[in-house]
Structure 1
Amino acid sequence: MNRARPGAAALSAVAGVALVAACGTNPYATTGRQVSLGAQQLSASTVQTSPGAGQAQLVTSTVEGLGAVLTDAEGHTLYRYAKDTAKPPKVACVDACAEMWPPLVSDSPALAAGVDAQLVSLVTRPDGRKQVTVGGWPVYRYAKDTGSGIALGQNVSADWAAITPEGEKAAAAASASAEPTTLGTTDIGGLGPVLTDQAGRTLYLFTRDGRGSGKSTCDGACARTWPPLLVNGRSTVAEDIDTGLVGQITRADGSKQVTVGGWPVYTYAKDGAPGEASGHGVGDTWYAMEPNGCRVDPARRPDAAIATASTGGY
């Protein structure tokens, strides 16, 4: 039985991490580990289509700790306002309110991925613009959400909550969906032991970040394809992963991202199940990670998946 141990002290706020294992060595030849590491994380379940000019886009995504929520085309979490009404749809957030909570406006009904089209409509705002509604509720962004996977507007006051694909408040899903993040390992045929998260998903490094650089260069569209492994609060890792390798950096949006061996770590949205590593070798910049914090040999390929190269990796 694989055990976990607290790793909060190891997840320091500094980017430089002591590298206690050399690249190319892998003493952690173990399989199927899953342990807890507290975090908030955007899952890899977003689906997108291409909106036309002047047409808004709704995307179903999952923010750990909130469950399924709606985002716009850029991955910003969408919200509903208790002082609006849904039956009939009516807007109460105007003027200064609308500056902090920009409405999602559209010239025609929004394209929606993972949303019942019958729930999506438009309401005319006092200024004449058309605002997207879901389940009758007008939807908004929050000005302080600076990137995908961020939901700082959740419960800013009792009147605001992230909105689900059904038009409901996401608050009810918060306690049920919250689960700790995992930093473990598993053995993938063709690659050997690799790092995984709590769902058994393969973890990757991005060579453009640079080991020990203290920053991630993967934001926006890149971060939706390669969701960063985020941490919030106390952390634990598998007992045979050296905590001296584990650290954290602060991303541009203020969230904390786990690092291993000085590398910021990510999952891959196109890995559909535990044990897949279809991101290994993508763009000649993305590689699965060994438990010692190094990249898996680029010449290796997983038995169950073929990594498809694409410029930039996203």
Structure 2
Amino acid sequence: MKKLMIVAASVLVLGLTGCGYATTNSPATDQVANEAEGAALSTIDDPKLGEIVVDEKGWVLYRFDGDTSEPPKSNCEGECAAAWPPSPSVDAANLTGIDASVLGSFSRSDGSGQSMLNNYLLYRYAGDKNPGDTLGQGVNGKWWAVTPDGKRAGQPAAPVLAKGPLSTIQHPQLGTIVVDAEGYALYRHKGDTDDPMASTCNGQCATAWPPVPAIKAEGSQGIQAPITSFQREDGSTQSSLDCWPLYRFAQDTAPGQVNGHGGADGTFFAVTPDGKFANDGKPIATTGSTYTY
């Protein structure tokens, strides 16, 4: 088994609402000591993506455009790594359908080993609900299922983040909160501004808290503030409620969950129908993320 000892670094339309807007490839030598017991890599044939890599339990593995391969470096730490768990180091004897010459291992900042193919680090996606799911494909335009030689699989899929129209649900602790068409809670960030409309959640933050793409307001129910959109610094559009940018939380894996309320050191909160912080911007005991950036 070959090893690379490298320390990872952490790394439009506006409605007439008064909203403002702001104008390489060969793994190094030595044996990896911390390979996860039983870790293995193999392949499956996905009907849309073709041959892709999975772990020993059949979970699809992904690569991140924010990482580098020369030299290998992970830019997914903290809460990003919770949403996209690193795939542990694998012994070459535990490969099926993958050439051992492309296998490598990376030493993360916490000392754990992470598997690589052609120097591209591998991750799972916490949002995949079953082995073989590919819900992480195309998320934020940066995450892709992996071919056996470490390349991006398939054609870039449109990110499925949040869908309109919006509606509301009654949460037992937070009261009435806003959800997307699939029932997933939406959030606001304390670091953002409404005039001009601007998001300060980029990079790893936007991976953990995917911005809600521009959606049509038509058909929304129970919403008491204007739904508009603005252009982010990367050129994509993001929905806003009462001029405040909206987000999903990657670790909400089922409709109605509010795992992101009070997260990121008390800077993200679920949203009320009038665009305010639910529960007056106060955490509830059973939720909250520790991600900082």
Q: TM-score, normalised by structure 2?
A: 0.52
Report deviation, 1:179: 9.2
Compute the displacement of 1:16 (Å). 7.5
1:245–1:261: 8 Å Cα contact kept in structure 2? yes
Q: Distance in 2 between matches of 1:120 and 1:261?
A: 53
State percent identity of aligned pairs.
23
Of residues 208, 223, 226 in structure 2, which corresponds to 1:241? 223
How far does residue 198 in structure 1 lie from its aligned partner after superposition?
3.3
1:231 maps to a residue whose letter is: A
Contact 1:122/1:132 (8 A) holds in 2: no
- Using the alignment, how far apart are the partners of 2:160 and 2:261 within structure 1? 28
| Cα distance between partner residues in 2 of 1:14 and 1:262 | 9
After superposition, the Cα gap between the structure-2 partners of 1:235 and 1:71, relative to the gap in structure 1 and judged at 3 Å, is farther
Structure 1 position 198 matched with structure 2 position 198: no
Amino acid at match of 1:289: V
Higher RCO (C-alpha under 8 Å, 6+ residues apart): 1
Q: How far is the alpha carbon of 1:200 from its aligned partner?
A: 1.8
When the two chains are superposed, the root-mean-square deviation of aligned CA atoms in Å is: 4.3
Corresponding position of 1:143:
none
Once the two structures are TM-superposed, the CA of residue 264 in structure 1 deviates from its matched residue by: 0.3
Q: CA deviation at 1:133?
A: 7.0
Matched, 1:149 2:129: no
Matches within 5 A, 1:7-22: 12-14=12-14, 17-18=17-18
Q: Which aligned pairs between 1:1-314 and structure 2 lie closer than 5 A?
A: 12-14=12-14, 17-18=17-18, 70-72=62-64, 74=66, 104-106=69-71, 113=86, 118=95, 119=98, 131-132=118-119, 149-150=140-141, 164-167=145-148, 169-171=153-155, 174=157, 181-182=163-164, 183-231=166-214, 236-242=218-224, 245-282=226-263, 283-298=265-280, 306-308=286-288, 310=290, 312=292
Report the 3-state secondary structure (helix = DSSP H, G, I; strand = E; otherwise coil) of the residue aligned with 1:273.
Answer: coil
Q: CA deviation at 1:288?
A: 0.8
What is the CA distance between 1:231 and its match in structure 2?
Answer: 2.5
* Superposition misfits of 4+ residues, deviation over 6 angstroms: 177-180
How many residues were matched structurally?
194
Q: Deviations over 1:2-36 (max 9, x none)?
A: xxxxxxxxxx42387358xxxxxxxxxxxxxxxxx
Q: Alignment partner of 1:291: what SS?
A: coil
SS of aligned partner of 1:298? helix
Q: CA–CA distance in 2 between the matches of 1:72 and 1:179? A: 17
Q: Structure 1 residues 69 and 214, CA, compared in 2 at 3 Å: closer, same or farther?
A: farther
Distance change (3 Å), C-alpha of 1:179 and 1:311: closer
State whether residues 15 and 262 of structure 1, in contact with CA within 8 Å, keep that contact through their aligned partners in structure 2: no
2:205 alignment partner, SS class: helix
1:211, CA displacement in angstroms? 2.5
The structural deviation recorded for 1:265 is 0.5
Deviations 1:205-254 (A, max 9, x none): 1111022332100001111111111127x564423325x61011111111
The 2-side partners of 1:72 and 1:255 are apart by 18
CA contact (8 A) 1:249 1:257 kept: yes
Contact 2:217 2:227 in 1 (8 A): no
Write the letter of the residue equivalent to 1:264: P
Partner letter of residue 243 of structure 2? G
Deviation at 1:181, TM superposition (A): 1.2
Q: CA deviation at 1:114?
A: 5.6
C-alpha separation between the residues in 1 aligned to 2:267 and 2:65? 25
Distance 1:178 1:225, change over 3 A: closer
Give 5+ residue unaligned stretches, structure 2: 1-11, 20-47, 50-59, 77-84, 103-116, 122-138
AA aligned to 2:140 is G
What is the aligned partner in structure 2 of residue 98 from structure 1? none
Distance in 2 of aligned mates of 1:178 and 1:295: 24
The whole-number CA distance in structure 1 between the counterparts of 2:161 and 2:200 is: 27
| TM-score, normalization by structure 1 | 0.49
Over 3 Å counting, the alpha-carbon distance change for 1:16 and 1:294 in structure 2 is: farther
